[in-house]
Structure 1
Amino acid sequence: MPKDKTETTPERVNGIARRWWKEAVAYQIYPRSFMDSDGDGVGDLAGIVSKLDYLSDLGVTMVWLSPHYDSPNADNGYDIRDYRAVMSQFGTMDDFDALLDGLHARGIRLIVDLVVNHTSNEHAWFAEARQGKDAATRDYYIWRDPAPDGSPPNNWPSFFSGPAWTLDEASGQYYLHLFAAKQPDLNWDNPAVRGEVWDLMRFWLDKGVDGFRMDVIPFISKDPALPDLPAGIKPQKHYAEGPRLHDYLREMRREVLSHYDCATVGEGNGLDQDQMRRVVDERREELDMIFQFDVVEFDRDAAGNPRDWTLPEFKEIFARQADSMDAHGWTTVYLANHDTTRPVSRYGDDSAEWRVASTKVLNALLLTQKGTPFLYQGDEFGMTNFPFTAIGQFQDIAVRNAWAAAQATGTADEATFLTRLNRTSRDHTRTPMQWDASAEGGFTSGTPWLPVNPNSAEINATSAMADPNGAWAFTRALIELRKAQELLVYGDYRDLAPDHPQVFAFAREIGADGIAVVLNFGASPQTFALPDRPGPVRELLASDASLIGSDVMLGGWSVMICAWGDR
């Protein structure tokens, strides 16, 4: 696949510039949990290579690989020690090259994580910075003197519990870390830091990767005054879109991205929709796509606890997201990633009776929305949340730190804590991929780093692929339908029944041509009458639903996708 960017005027469809990354169907791989090739219990790059035909058969056209870089793993690879080296647990650079070549040979592009808000505290830059205030890389990070009483410079909290400042005893200064203490934040106001980032981006792009998913990119610019977090404001809102964020993203585009045929997707944590629109407006030359957070936050209260929700609330998220972008911007669609729980356990029904059917519904929603869809590993056949029974089973640093803080303050209640985590923990999507009915789900011949879900004998890729009426086959058909129907990529979005309590129905339209997607989000059968259309309606894809004229007859947790017009 060519990497040099060729300047051409793109064709426009429905007023939108045609780009390969808008037409992609992406699949996220969390390498620790995808496939272990050497029996050490940790997934690796050679394991991924062994499953490339699986990805090709599914039909995905882009892979997002979570961090594969050298890391001490304080945050499972999101604390990077060396940006130009592969984590030894995952293999070698030769293994990475084999993965990249194998994907490209199958027509699948690869984007990798770019984690440059912070490094590991074991990175050579930080090791040198700790040598003293005059160290050459001291200003690569953010240091401040203590407050007069010796406390941290401000009241900023870390996302992983406790203050966002750690005292460096040797120098008497605090360093900033919005995440774990082992993840010091970089000082992007230093042009030398930006130059280092541009160089490491070129290293991977020259190697042949097709772009980057940019971790917590809205946080890279800090207000030099470091003002206190106001009461009632979420930390991510306070940290996002600092005063020079857009300057730095435009510099990134100018210095690096404009020279390659690549794609960028930013993690939009903390940004509202107006802010996200600015980041991805093609006329501003910043990023290409953004991950919006409403879909993974709306069912949580202000304290982050799960709450009951209604289907009209859920629909509003997608309508608002589709409306957030005009013809000059682009977004993504996802229901899960490595920081969430499993969609079928969260938005669907993971009971034995309805798991497969509700997985079909959720994947139909994902793959027919406006924006580039990102499917997370295992969701193609409906992997479920893990039934954790003890705090000690969790590996997530956020859980461990929160539990330690609760114990330290005397507020630890294991039963309550466990109940909450069984609905919210990130470890639900980090449990190993369930490949077959053998021991440890076929993921490893050793002891897995995180327990394999005990339902792996029943729920696994091999059995799912063998079922022609199952979720895996339906997901593959959905992917092929999206590739064949540009309406599902570039069409306008319109909610056909915003207030219906059980049916999620919407249209994707270009002029007089359209596709209707009708989804039953419940066990009871439903009948839905399509609005008047200019011409007959034809069925494109269905699961336990039928079309009679303009009436859609839906079984429990069912799908009907139909079209009208000439497209």
Structure 2
Amino acid sequence: MNLSLASKQSQAQDWWRSAAIYQVYPRSFFDSNGDGIGDLPGIIQKLDYIAQLEVDAVWISPFFKSPMKDFGYDISDYRAVEPMFGTMEDFQLLLKEAHDRNLKILIDQVWNHTSDQHPWFMESRSSRDNAKADWYVWEDAKPDGSPPNNWRATFGGSAWEWDETRQQYYLHSFLVSQPDLNWYNPEVKEAIFDVARFWLDMGVDGFRLDVVNFYLHDRQLRDNPPRPPEMKRPAGADPKDPFFDFINVHNFCQPEIIDLLKSIREVMDEYPGTTTLAEISSAEDPLVLASEYVSGNDRLHTAYNSELMKDEPFSYPRLREMIQRIETHFQDGVICWTAGTHDFPRFKSRWQKHQEIDHFTEEAFEHMLAALILALKGSCCIYQGDELGLTQADIPYEKMQDPFGLQGYPDILGRDGCRTPMPWDPSTHNAGFTTAKEPWLPIPDEHCPMAVDIQEKETMSLLNKYRRLFSWRNRQPALRNGDLTLLDTPEPLLGFARKCEEQHLICLFNLSPEALRHDLSNYPNCQESDESDFTNRRYDHTIEIPGYGVFFGNCLG
């Protein structure tokens, strides 16, 4: 085979290494049938909108058959479409239409647990000696009748639930209605791999793996130690969440999972060009754990980085340390830079409260953060609505839907505030999301001025900035394939170089509201990229970058 052709084929199969991914939360994207809930035909109708962003792939949150106790993350049939979202024919059409637009499709796979309405669990709980008796994690009570240990569920309370029929406890790391599968059972492993092949045979391009670090537990069922008051909580953890009152070392994040990940990778390798995007949830150091899960070529492909989900300022020291840690730990693995998902408060609301920004500089700050995420090494993921600058919604208790929020209220408000429907056209009923009287979650009034229809008409809107930036990124070899080196730039100027054989790109980000100047004498042939959609002033070898501005420079020769 021609070496050049072989190289191109290899790059095509490794598309995930620098992919731009757009996350769709189906319930809230677009409602095609007027029932107040988004659906698969709604995604099909809006595929052109996604394609115009010039992203590589779409990650679709669960649309499988489910009682919807956790809005699709409680699956009762891994191979069926939940009727409220449409039909299997709708999904197959979505897959075809996406591929016709050069969009790859990643689907959520929830393999840690099922719904308690799944036939597997219904059989498992029926007796202690049925064919699936060991497909879930069952354990006898202590002599006093209490649960086997002190493990807590992430949604509150004990992680163990008593079952009258079996006269045993079953493990549920999340809701009571979400029993954990027993991955130590080889039959479970093969059943899940059959599910994976079902979707891969259909043509999906990969999976986002929900809470992958929860798959295995300590088989000795040892108690978790209490967390000392001085010990920090993991990235993104709510300080009031009782789950983190303990150091969760035995209920998940077990070392044996590496061998399991290798088995998952073997299945994916049967389908060249497919990928896995892992969620690492609730770990003490999710970044280090993620790096272990994607190290080498025989584990998972990539994992997303929860560091940007922390409720902390986007400061110079924090960003430099974060980038340096990733460069250290991900030498042969791939990180997916993610600033928001359906599980975390909206990106914009998190940074707004830490920055003293007026309306004039707010736009520049948003545009700078968009450029930063797109310029970092690895892949990146944008959650629907973040490209519009949507803020976290304040949902009144009587309108709340999220079981996590309802159970933790008022200390923990849950995830409803980041899951409100997309505003498409503010001049129409329910901002163009649905023709129903009311959507499943209310659309905040403050989201209407950020609607798609408005931003598409404004040249310098955040939406159009994202479109231009993604388009520009796709034409920069250094951003798609290059290494990253932090530059010794003074605070508050964050700088790094992206470099490959074809291109040497200097990336500078002014993290302050004041204009600053930077000497480029070390890069005498560095010319500002006139396609990057940012404008700066130049004086010989000195560049002046406005407040919250960005400089992208090509180093020639």
Specify the alignment match of 1:103 in structure 2. 98
Bigger shift: residues 453-462 or 193-202:
453-462
Q: Do the aligned residues in 1 keep the contact of 2:112 with 2:212 (CA within 8 Å)?
A: yes
Specify the alignment match of 1:171 in structure 2. 166
Q: Which of 298, 303, 326 is equivalent to 1:290?
A: 303
Shift of 1:133: 1.1
Identity within the alignment, %: 35
Show structure 1 runs of 5+ residues with no match: 1-7, 300-306, 404-413
SS of equivalent to 1:140: coil
> 2: CA distance between counterparts of 1:190 and 1:503?
52
1:139 aligns with 2:134: yes
Q: Do the aligned residues in 2 keep the contact of 1:176 with 1:185 (CA within 8 Å)?
A: yes
Can you list the C-alpha shifts for 1:420-445, whole angstroms capped at 9, x where unaligned? Answer: 74xxx432321111112123221111
Q: Do the aligned residues in 2 keep the contact of 1:488 with 1:508 (CA within 8 Å)?
A: yes
Shift of 1:495: 2.9
Q: Which of 209, 213, 229 is equivalent to 1:214?
A: 209
SS of equivalent to 1:557: coil
Specify the alignment match of 2:241 in structure 1. none
> 1: CA distance between counterparts of 2:184 and 2:86?
34
Bigger shift: residues 187-196 or 450-459:
450-459
1:396 aligns with 2:435: no
- Given the superposition, is the C-alpha separation of residues 261 and 544 from structure 1 closer, same or farther in structure 2, using an over 3 Å criterion? closer
Shift of 1:512: 10
> 1: CA distance between counterparts of 2:327 and 2:34?
44
Q: Under a length normalisation based on structure 2, what TM-score does the superposition of the two structures give?
A: 0.89
Bigger shift: residues 364-373 or 352-361:
352-361
- Figure out how many residues of one structure are paired with residues of the other and give that number: 528
Can you list the C-alpha shifts for 1:167-197, whole angstroms capped at 9, x where unaligned? Answer: 1122221100111111100000111101110
Q: Give the aligned residue type for 2:469.
A: L
Q: Do the aligned residues in 2 keep the contact of 1:28 with 1:337 (CA within 8 Å)?
A: yes
Q: Which of 461, 467, 471 is equivalent to 1:476?
A: 467
Bigger shift: residues 170-179 or 265-274:
265-274
Specify the alignment match of 2:276 in structure 1. 264
Bigger shift: residues 311-320 or 175-184:
311-320
SS of equivalent to 2:526: coil
Shift of 1:355: 4.0
> 2: CA distance between counterparts of 1:230 and 1:10?
51
Q: Do the aligned residues in 2 keep the contact of 1:69 with 1:83 (CA within 8 Å)?
A: yes
> 2: CA distance between counterparts of 1:191 and 1:489?
39
Q: Do the aligned residues in 2 keep the contact of 1:537 with 1:549 (CA within 8 Å)?
A: no
Specify the alignment match of 1:280 in structure 2. 294
- Given the superposition, is the C-alpha separation of residues 550 and 474 from structure 1 closer, same or farther in structure 2, using an over 3 Å criterion? farther
Q: Under a length normalisation based on structure 1, what TM-score does the superposition of the two structures give?
A: 0.87
Q: Give the aligned residue type for 1:473.
A: N
Can you list the C-alpha shifts for 1:298-346, whole angstroms capped at 9, x where unaligned? Answer: x3xxxxxxx66744213322332233211x3211111111111222222
For residues 93-132 of structure 1, what are the structure 2 equivalents within 5 Å? 93-132=88-127
Specify the alignment match of 1:359 in structure 2. 366
> 2: CA distance between counterparts of 1:471 and 1:561?
18
1:451 aligns with 2:465: no
SS of equivalent to 2:319: helix
Q: Which of 431, 441, 457 is equivalent to 1:466?
A: 457
> 2: CA distance between counterparts of 1:88 and 1:352?
44
SS of equivalent to 1:383: coil
Q: Do the aligned residues in 1 keep the contact of 2:314 with 2:351 (CA within 8 Å)?
A: no
- Given the superposition, is the C-alpha separation of residues 517 and 147 from structure 1 closer, same or farther in structure 2, using an over 3 Å criterion? same
> 2: CA distance between counterparts of 1:495 and 1:18?
28
Shift of 1:544: 5.4
Q: Give the aligned residue type for 2:459.
A: P
Specify the alignment match of 2:481 in structure 1. 490
1:318 aligns with 2:323: yes
> 1: CA distance between counterparts of 2:555 and 2:57?
30
1:331 aligns with 2:335: yes
> 1: CA distance between counterparts of 2:44 and 2:358?
33
> 2: CA distance between counterparts of 1:471 and 1:354?
13
Shift of 1:19: 1.4
Q: Give the aligned residue type for 1:211.
A: G
Can you list the C-alpha shifts for 1:374-403, whole angstroms capped at 9, x where unaligned? Answer: 111111221112134x33333222111112
> 1: CA distance between counterparts of 2:13 and 2:519?
33
- Given the superposition, is the C-alpha separation of residues 396 and 497 from structure 1 closer, same or farther in structure 2, using an over 3 Å criterion? farther
Specify the alignment match of 2:377 in structure 1. 370
Q: Do the aligned residues in 2 keep the contact of 1:359 with 1:381 (CA within 8 Å)?
A: no
> 2: CA distance between counterparts of 1:310 and 1:393?
35
> 2: CA distance between counterparts of 1:552 and 1:34?
42
Q: Which of 258, 263, 268 is equivalent to 1:251?
A: 263
Q: Which of 333, 343, 348 is equivalent to 1:344?
A: 348
Can you list the C-alpha shifts for 1:52-110, whole angstroms capped at 9, x where unaligned? Answer: 11111111110011111111111111111100011111011111011101100001000
> 1: CA distance between counterparts of 2:44 and 2:340?
23
Q: Give the aligned residue type for 1:458.
A: P
Specify the alignment match of 1:406 in structure 2. none
> 2: CA distance between counterparts of 1:254 and 1:18?
15
Q: Do the aligned residues in 1 keep the contact of 2:526 with 2:553 (CA within 8 Å)?
A: no
Q: Give the aligned residue type for 1:451.
A: P
Can you list the C-alpha shifts for 1:520-542, whole angstroms capped at 9, x where unaligned? Answer: 33433333334612523333424
> 1: CA distance between counterparts of 2:32 and 2:148?
47
Q: Do the aligned residues in 2 keep the contact of 1:512 with 1:565 (CA within 8 Å)?
A: no
Specify the alignment match of 2:494 in structure 1. 504
Q: Give the aligned residue type for 1:398.
A: F
1:436 aligns with 2:450: no
Shift of 1:12: 11
Bigger shift: residues 454-463 or 188-197:
454-463
Q: Do the aligned residues in 1 keep the contact of 2:54 with 2:470 (CA within 8 Å)?
A: yes
Ranges of 4+ aligned residues in structure 1 off by more than 4 Å: 8-13, 233-238, 271-274, 348-352
> 2: CA distance between counterparts of 1:345 and 1:50?
29
- Given the superposition, is the C-alpha separation of residues 449 and 335 from structure 1 closer, same or farther in structure 2, using an over 3 Å criterion? same
Q: Give the aligned residue type for 2:399.
A: Q
> 1: CA distance between counterparts of 2:23 and 2:496?
26
Q: Which of 192, 197, 200 is equivalent to 1:205?
A: 200
Q: Give the aligned residue type for 1:371.
A: G
Q: Give the aligned residue type for 2:29.
A: F
Q: Do the aligned residues in 1 keep the contact of 2:520 with 2:541 (CA within 8 Å)?
A: yes
Q: Which of 527, 546, 552 is equivalent to 1:537?
A: 527
Q: Do the aligned residues in 1 keep the contact of 2:218 with 2:250 (CA within 8 Å)?
A: no
Q: Do the aligned residues in 2 keep the contact of 1:295 with 1:314 (CA within 8 Å)?
A: no
SS of equivalent to 2:474: helix
Specify the alignment match of 1:411 in structure 2. none
SS of equivalent to 1:138: coil
> 2: CA distance between counterparts of 1:112 and 1:255?
16
Q: Give the aligned residue type for 1:508.
A: R
- After superposition, the CA RMSD in angstroms is 2.5
Shift of 1:142: 0.2
- Given the superposition, is the C-alpha separation of residues 165 and 95 from structure 1 closer, same or farther in structure 2, using an over 3 Å criterion? same
SS of equivalent to 2:529: strand
Shift of 1:256: 4.8
- Given the superposition, is the C-alpha separation of residues 114 and 206 from structure 1 closer, same or farther in structure 2, using an over 3 Å criterion? same
- Given the superposition, is the C-alpha separation of residues 36 and 203 from structure 1 closer, same or farther in structure 2, using an over 3 Å criterion? same
SS of equivalent to 1:518: strand
> 1: CA distance between counterparts of 2:248 and 2:61?
21
